[in-house]
Structure 1
């Protein structure tokens, strides 16, 4: 299976990342934190793009930085406010916003990432 949106890997350089397949998607870890999921699947294509791992209390400040940010669409098309926020691959400024998110990750922005410990 090919990693979608693999430009993300280049944008995170030079920090050390780990990439793991996860339910037909790819999780990106930095140290002990899960920071992003890359998703491009036929099922529920409205959820395709780059998922940002965060907490609900950071949503508003992240939306100020990323106006195109939205919650993941759940089962039956219901929009659930989850900890995960989506930069949709169909948005016009998708790559520009993903690059901006990668820059925040490289600066260790505390709003992005979920500890796996």
Structure 2
């Protein structure tokens, strides 16, 4: 059975990984696009039964639907962790609600991507 993974999970997990690895609280739209491509490639290689929804429309919808957690800086074209939130808040809301195998894959793949990127 295919699981659909919303952009909010990808945004949150990328922000968690960036904060832990590089002490950053934002991700550019370009980086998020590259991450989405990487996740899709790795999901095919690892035969993960999921569809990751990372189109521009999905990302825009996620930022507005989860505005308690994310904010968009149009000048810099980055998505940021809301100033009133910590990564623990993101983890509480966005880690653990997907099937375990898919969540583990998403966390692992996102961490790999963040460590490889500049």
Which bracket does the TM-score occupy, shorter chain normalised?
0.3 to 0.5
**Structure number with higher relative contact order (C-alpha < 8 Å, ≥ 6 residues apart):** 2
Output the TM-score relative to the length of structure 2: 0.32
Output the TM-score relative to the length of structure 1: 0.32
Point out the structure with the larger helix share. 2
Point out the structure with the larger strand share. 1
